[in-house]
Amino acid sequence: MLFSHKNLKVLRKRVNSDLELLFDWLCANRLSLNVGKTEFVIFRPARSKRLDRVTLKINRCKIFESNKIKYLGMILDSNLNWKHHIFELNKKLFRGVGMIYKMKNLSDASVLKSIYFSLFQSHATYGLVAWGSSRKCLDMVYLSQKRAIRAILGLGFNDSTSASFKSLRILKMFDLYKVQCASLMWDFDHGSLPDAFLGFFTKISDVHSYNTRSSASNKLAKNVSVKTIHGKKLFKITGVDIFNEINNLPFYKSSRTRYNFLKHYKNYLIDQY
């Protein structure tokens, strides 16, 4: 359940009212809600004043506010800075790096690379489009990624990994974020993006009818009204930049499937290293 309002008292009243309706629906369908496992979080700006903690009720049982919640494997905190999610993610990544170190004397680089993809990159890329807009989060995970690369190649703690990514054909975290965003933008351009993203993007040709090079090139229009730093990190803003970039690539229009496009795009990014 998701609610929004600037006034906290109005928000609490609205949520409690809907919780009463929810309880009636549960009773009518002979279902029960485990209140002990039910929690809620209030998303607010990091610098906003901390008000009294809000308490909600369902069937006269209290539901207490949490600073963070876990939803579909993602840890959402009240300020949406992803600090708690990255902390838990790095613990998984450290275990993956440790496994590579344990296997480095028993296996060759190709086997260690397979371990990397299964125990490291699979976790590192989950939900990357959501939290990857934070440069600080990407930097923290990138440090763990470089440890994994050193483990695969048997490099020293302070050895550079710049050339190693290209030799192993592994994308850096920053480019993995671009690839996932590019995958969504491919879906947008081919009409298969989920309905939740409707209205996020507008093509220049839909803004005006002038026959300019930008409108003829199938590019997207930027939202110039966004001024804040956090606003510029939104997917509806970064997605425009990524789409206008990939739209200029020679293999974008020639690729018949998303898989084929992403394969060429990954190779293109790695060749830039």
Q: What is the DSSP string of 83-149?
A: HHHHHHHHHHHHHHHHHHHHHTTTS-HHHHHHHHIIIIIHHHTTTHHHHTT-HHHHHHHHHHHHHHH
Cβ(236)–Cβ(223) below 8 Å:
yes
Domains of the chain, by residue range, sit at 8-66, 75-170, 177-270
**Does pLDDT of 215 surpass 70?**
no
Q: Is the pLDDT of residue 231 over 90?
A: no
Q: Is the pLDDT of residue 127 over 60?
A: yes
Q: Which of 21-25, 44-48, 63-67, 160-164 has the lowest mean pLDDT?
A: 44-48
Assess whether pLDDT exceeds 60 at residue 214.
no
A 10 A CB-CB count for 48 gives: 10
| Length of the chain, in residues | 273
Confidence class for position 121, pLDDT limits 50, 70, 90 = very high
Mean pLDDT of 189-207: 81
Question: Taking 80 as the threshold, does the pLDDT of residue 226 lie above it?
Answer: no
Angle between helices 235-246 and 173-189 (to 10 degrees): 80
Listed residue (225, 201, 205, 206) closest to 215, CA to CA: 205
> Would you state the torsion angle of the CA atoms of residues 193, 175, 118, 111, taken in this order, to the nearest 10 degrees?
140
